[in-house]
């Protein structure tokens, strides 16, 4: 699914899913640089983000995969 990742004026990362009209803060990242790992949104969704350079500028739209509650990433 297409997800826009951005940082607000307070420095908080958030994910916006246009198809669901959903914007939630990112509350946990698997990797410090975020890219190529899992992020957890405030509503409990877990998204697998593509690997990208740590210096990638925001906002950016990426193709992310939503994991089911009990699903382990590949």
So where are the chain's domains?
Answer: 2-67
The number of angstroms, rounded, from the C-alpha of 70 to the middle of its chain's C-alpha atoms is 18
**Gap between the Cα atoms of 52 and 15, Å rounded:** 16
69 — pLDDT class (breaks 50, 70, 90) = confident
pTM (2 d.p.): 0.89
Of all residues in the chain, the percent with pLDDT exceeding 90 is 86
Cα–Cα dist 16/25, whole Å: 9
Calculate mean pLDDT across residues 21-31: 96
- Which option is the CATH number for 2-67: 3.30.360.10, 3.40.50.300, 2.40.50.240, 1.20.59.10? 2.40.50.240
SS3 20: helix
C-beta of residue 2 within 8 angstroms of C-beta of residue 63: yes
């Amino acid at each position: 699914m297409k997800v826009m990742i951005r940082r607000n004026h307070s420095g908080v990362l958030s994910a916006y899913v246009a198809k669901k009209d959903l914007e939630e803060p990112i509350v946990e990242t698997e990797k410090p640089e975020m890219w190529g790992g899992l992020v957890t949104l405030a509503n409990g969704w877990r998204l697998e983000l593509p690997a990208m350079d740590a210096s990638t500028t925001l906002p950016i739209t990426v193709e992310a995969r939503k994991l089911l509650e009990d699903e382990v990433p590949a």
